[in-house]
Chains A and B, each alone.
Chain A
Amino acid sequence: MLEIKDLKAEIEGKIILNGINLVVKPGEVHAVMGPNGAGKSTLSAVLAGRADYTVTGGEVSFNGKDLLEMSPEDRAREGVFLAFQYPVEIPGVSTTNFLKTAINEKRKYLGLEPMEATAFLKFMREKMELMEMDKALTSRSLNEGFSGGEKKRNEVFQMAMLEPKLTIMDETDSGLDIDALRLVSAGVNKLKDGERSFVVITHYQRLLDYIVPDFVHVLYKGRIVKSGDASLAKELEAKGYDWIKAEVEQGANT
Chain B
Amino acid sequence: MAFRFLIYNFTMLLQTIKKDFIQYKAQAEPGNFLTLREAAFAEFEKLGFPTTKQEEWKYTSLKSITDNTFQSTCEIKSLVNDLFYASIESKLTANFLVFVNGSLVNELSKIIEKDNSIVISSIATARKNNQAIFNHHFGKYAMVEGLAMNALNTALLSDGAFVFVPKGKTVEHPVVIFNISDASDLNVLAQPRNLIVAEEQSTLTIVETYYATGTNASFTNVVTETYAGKGAHVEHYKIQQQAGACYQNNFTQFFQEADTNINHVTLTLDGTLVRNNLHFYMNGENCNSLLYGLYVTDNKDLVDNHTRVDHAKPNCFSDEKYKGILKGHSTAVFNGKIMVHLDAQKTNAYQRNQNILLSDDATVNTKPQLEIFADDVKCTHGATVGELDEESMFYLRSRGIPEDVARKLLLTAYAVDIAEKIKIPELVELLEQKIDGKL
Give residues in A with beta carbon < 8 Å to B: 48-51, 71-73, 75-77, 81-82, 84, 87-88, 90-93, 97-98, 101-102, 105-106, 109, 141, 158, 162
Contact of B118 with A by CB under 8 A: no
Task: Judge whether B51 is part of the interface by a CB distance below 8 angstroms.
Answer: no
Could you say which of B395, B401, B403, B417 contacts A88, with CB atoms under 8 Å apart?
B395
Provide a sorted-by-A list of 12 A–B residue pairs whose CB atoms are within 8 angstroms.
A49-B398, A71-B402, A76-B398, A88-B391, A90-B392, A90-B413, A92-B412, A92-B414, A98-B396, A101-B401, A102-B401, A105-B405
A90-B400 contact in complex given A101-B405, A101-B409, C-beta closer than 8 Å = no
Chain A residues within an 8 Å CB radius of B412: 92
Cβ-neighbour of B398 out of A48, A91, A101, A109 (below 8 A): A48
Q: Which residues of A contact B17 (CB under 8 A)?
A: none
The answer to whether B413 touches A158, judged by C-beta atoms less than 8 angstroms apart, is no
Q: Are B398 and A82 in contact (CB under 8 A)?
A: yes
Question: A72 vs B398: C-alpha distance in the bound complex, in angstroms?
Answer: 5
Q: Report B48 CB to chain A, min CB distance, Å.
A: 44
A residues near B405, Cβ cutoff 8 Å: 101, 105
Apart from A93-B409, A109-B400, A162-B400, what are 11 other A-B pairs with CB-CB below 8 Å? A50-B394, A73-B397, A73-B406, A81-B398, A88-B389, A88-B394, A90-B410, A90-B413, A101-B409, A102-B401, A106-B400
| CB-defined contacts of B406 to chain A, threshold 8 Å | 73
A contact residues around B402 at 8 Å (CB): 71, 73, 105
CA of A73 to CA of B402 in the docked complex: distance in angstroms?
6
Chain B residue contacts of A82, Cβ below 8 A:
398
A88 near B392: Cβ-Cβ < 8 Å = yes
Question: Number of B interface residues, CB 8 Å?
Answer: 22
Say yes or no: is B416 at the interface (Cβ < 8 Å to chain A).
yes
In-complex Cβ contact of A158 among B397, B399, B403 (8 A): B399
Q: Which of B166-224 contact A (CB under 8 A)?
A: none
The answer to whether A91 and B395 touch across the interface, beta carbons within 8 angstroms, is no
Q: Is the CB of B394 within 8 A of A98?
A: no
Which B-chain residue is minimally distant from A99 (CB atoms)?
B399
Distance, CA A90 to CA B406, complexed state (A): 11
B429 → chain A closest CB, angstroms: 14
User: Considering only CB atoms, which chain B residue lies closest to A87 in the complex?
Assistant: B395
In the bound complex, residues from chain A placing their C-beta under 8 Å from that of B401 are 73, 98, 101-102, 105
CA distance A81 to B389 in the complex (A): 21
CA distance A82 to B319 in the complex (A): 39
Chain B: minimal CB distance from A114 (Å): 13
Query: Given the complex, which residues of B lie within 8 Å of A73, measured CB to CB?
Result: 397-398, 400-403, 406
CB proximity of B388 to chain A, nearest CB, Å? 11
Q: Which of chain B's residues has its CB closest to A97's CB?
A: B409
Note all chain A residues with C-beta closer than 8 A to B391.
Answer: 88
Q: 1/0 per position for B71-85, CB-CB distance to A under 8 A?
A: 000000000000000
Alpha-carbon gap, A71 to B403, bound state (A): 9
Contact in complex: B416, A76 (CB < 8 Å): no
A91–B413 contact, CB under 8 A?
A: yes
Contacts of A91 in B (CB 8 A): 413, 417
Query: How distant is the Cα of A140 from the Cα of B198 in the complex, in angstroms?
Result: 36
Contacts A50-B394, A105-B405; is A98 near B399 (CB within 8 Å)?
yes
Inter-chain contacts of B414 with A (CB < 8 A):
92
Question: Judging by beta carbons under 8 Å apart, are A72 and B397 in contact?
Answer: yes
Let me know if A102 and B400 touch, CB within 8 A.
yes
- Min CB distance, A141 to chain B, in Å? 8
B392, B400, B403, B417, most chain A CB atoms within 10 A: B400
A84 near B395 with CB under 8 A, answer: yes
Q: Judge whether B392 and A71 touch: CB under 8 Å.
A: no
Q: A-B pairs with the 6 shortest C-beta distances?
A: A92-B413, A76-B400, A72-B397, A102-B399, A88-B395, A77-B400
A168 to chain B, nearest CB (A): 10
- How far in angstroms is the closest Cβ of chain A from B231? 33
- In the docked arrangement, what's the CA distance between A114 and B396, Å? 18
A50 to B399, CA, bound (A): 12
- Assess the A72–B417 pair: CB atoms within 8 A: no
CA distance A101 to B408 in the complex (A): 12
Contacting residue for B417 out of A84, A92, A105, A158, CB 8 A: A92
Expressed in whole angstroms, the Cα–Cα distance for A248 and B412 within the complex equals 51
Contact A93 B400 (CB under 8 A): no
Contact status B397-A162, CB under 8 Å? no
- A106 cross-chain contacts in B, Cβ below 8 A: 400
A residues less than 8 Å from B394 (CB atoms):
48-51, 72, 88
Q: With CB as the reference atom, state the residue of chain B lying closest to A142.
A: B395
Instruction: Report the nearest B residue to A77, measured CB to CB.
Output: B400
A48 to chain B, nearest CB (A): 5
Closest A residue by C-beta to B391: A88
Residue numbers in B under 8 Å from A50 (CB-CB): 394
In the assembly, what is the distance between CA of A109 and CA of B400, in Å?
9
Chain B residues contacting A93 (CB-CB under 8 Å) are: 396, 409-410, 413
Contacts of A81 in B (CB 8 A): 398-399
Cβ distance A120 to chain B, nearest Cβ, rounded Å: 15
Of chain B, the residue at the smallest CB distance from A91 is B413
Establish whether residues A76 and B392, one from each chain, have CB atoms under 8 Å apart when the complex forms: no
C-alpha gap A180/B398 in the complex (Å): 24
What are the residues of chain B within 8 A of A158 when measuring CB–CB?
Answer: 399
- Residue of B401, B405, B414, B417 with highest tally of chain A CB at under 10 A: B401
Within the complex, the shortest CB–CB distance from A115 to chain B, in Å, comes to 13
Q: Are A76 and B413 in contact (CB under 8 A)?
A: no
**Distance of A176 Cα from B397 Cα, bound (Å):** 26
Minimum Cβ distance to chain A for residue B420 (Å): 9
Question: Could you say which residues of chain B place their CB within 8 Å of the CB of A77?
Answer: 400
Q: Report B-chain residues with C-beta under 8 Å of the C-beta of A88.
A: 389, 391-392, 394-395
Collect the chain B residues with CB atoms within 8 Å of residue A101's CB. Answer: 401, 405, 409
B60 CB, min distance to chain A CBs, angstroms? 30
Please indicate which of the listed interface residues B396, B398, B409, B413 has the most CB atoms of chain A within 10 Å of its own CB.
Answer: B398
CB distance from A103 to the nearest CB of B (A): 8
In the assembled complex, the CB of A143 is this many whole angstroms from the nearest CB of chain B, namely 9
Once the chains are docked, how many angstroms separate the CA of A91 from the CA of B416? 10
The distance from the CB of B390 to the nearest CB of chain A, in whole angstroms, is 8
Q: Chain A residues near B403: list those with CB within 8 A.
A: 71, 73
